[in-house]
Amino acid sequence: MAEGGIYLGKLGSKESTRLLPETSNAVYSPPGFVLFARGGSLFALPFDTDHVKPKSEPFPVADRVDYHAYRWNGIFDVSRSGVLTYVAGPAVNRSQLVWVDRRGQRASAVGESADYGGLRLSPSSDRCAVEIRDPRSGGIDVWVLDLVRLSMTRLTSGAHISDCPTWSPDGSSIVFSSHRARGWDVYQRGVTTTAMEQLLAASEDTKTPTDWSPDGRYLALAVSASGKGQSELWVYSFQDRKAVPYLRTRFAVGEGRFSPDGRWMAYVADETGRPEVYVSPFPTADRRWQISPGGGSQPVWGSDGELFFVAPDRKLVAARIATEPDFRVETITPLFAIDEKISASDIPRYDAARDSKRFLVNVPTQERIPEPLTVVLDWAAGLGR
């Protein structure tokens, strides 16, 4: 399996050579440099085009450059005449975690503002696992916020992306996805212990944990095969130590969430041409019911037979579901316009508290500070390299 990094290939050939371990875009700049992003800075690798190999070690060009971690893309470019442009960043895109009641009234903000992404409340709703983007490197890590003491604990760290946290039913562990050597793999780590993280599922495919079953036996995974954009819904068994397909179609499927009793799976599929929320039995998806009447995403189960989702008009909707004697949707009730931050996360930017009477929402603030575009003429002049 290929390791992540910057590779050099030849047109007409399948062979390639790994130049650098960084997961970044790379741009060639005459007379002989390869520019790339590393740790929030812009670097240049002196490159011998005659012998097709590096001349020496990379050196820094700019101290700060904006970097989009999910796309492995530094915001820079260089012309053939040596004009370098880049955004010194990353831009700060702050948001605030806010408790909101069922009427849409904001009760209280939690913790300090930060560049938050997707979030998950613990089973007892007294802690929150949340993605936070590092303003220096542009990387993403998982943090745990104690909602009672308002303290923050860092769960992951390192020169990689870690996201999509999901709690164990007893609140003692968190699984998450992380891109390291090969692909997006699934790891598990205890929340209150110092034990090392454990690798659960590894392959070149992109694997996103979306939920942990209430009996603790399974993980729901959104899986995209390497080289393909379409996702499928898989289930990882802790007993068998492997993942198997739960739902495969010609369309993209993801965002799987187990019902509180573990008998049903809510998920999102786009076979109608837009995302819709469905529910199927678990462990066998032999039937299904469409829950959203006109588009929906980010399904979250509540208490007492409710399933929440976000409609295309950005309203949070509550669907009341009955499963006895037969499965049926009893009511669809729009609650309020959810002012949630738009992010690239694969998990919701809101979650329902244990009693379903309030929601923790990632709300954007007015503190977004864009960085100017920097232009450097003949950037390599005088380097002497």
SS3 126: coil
Question: Residue holding tokens 């012998």?
Answer: 51
Nearest to 72 by CA among 129, 21, 132: 21
How far apart CA 128 and CA 289 sit, in angstroms, is 30
The count of other CB atoms within 10 Å of the CB of residue 120 is: 25
Per-position DSSP letters for 167-226, written without gaps between them = E-TTSSEEEEEEE-SSSEEEEEEESSS-PPPEEEE-SSSEEEEEEE-TTSSEEEEEEE-T
Q: What pLDDT shows up at residue 79?
A: 94
Structural domain spans, the chain: 6-90+370-376, 95-364
Tokens coding 7: 């590779």
Length of the chain in residues, anyone?
Answer: 385
The tokens describing 139, both together, are: 């990387």
Residue 1: per-residue pLDDT: 39
Token pair listed for 115: 């560049």
Query: Count of CB atoms within 10 A of residue 360's CB?
Result: 23
Average confidence (pLDDT) per 10 residues, the chain, 385 residues: 74 85 89 88 91 90 79 87 86 84 93 91 96 78 94 85 94 91 84 84 88 98 73 95 92 94 96 94 95 95 93 95 94 91 72 96 75 88 66
Contact criterion met (CB below 8 Å) for 129 and 172 = no
Can you tell me the distance from the alpha carbon of 232 to that of 254, in angstroms, rounded to the nearest whole number? 6
3-state SS, residue 69: helix
User: 2.40.50.140, 3.30.420.40, 2.120.10.30, 3.30.1540.10: which CATH number matches 95-364?
Assistant: 2.120.10.30
Side chain identity, residue 282: F
- In the prediction, which pLDDT does 342 show? 63
**Residue 166: phi, psi to the nearest 5?**
-140, 130
Please name which of 299, 278, 286 lies closest in space to residue 246, comparing C-alpha atoms.
Answer: 286
42-to-28, 63, 75 alpha-carbon distances in Å: 13, 7, 10
Residues 6+ apart with CB under 8 A from 19: 5, 6, 7, 8, 26, 34, 45, 54
* 27 residue type, one letter: V
pLDDT number for residue 13: 85
Q: CA–CA separation, 306 vs 318, rounded Å?
A: 6
Sign of CA dihedral 177, 180, 184, 188: negative
Separation of alpha carbons 268 and 257, rounded Å: 10
Residue 86 CA: distances (Å) to CA of 32, 138, 373:
19, 15, 6
Rounded CA separation 231/165 (Å): 18
Three-state DSSP class for 102?
A: coil
Q: Please tell me the pTM assigned to this model.
A: 0.79
Q: How many C-beta atoms lie closer than 10 Å to residue 6's C-beta?
A: 18
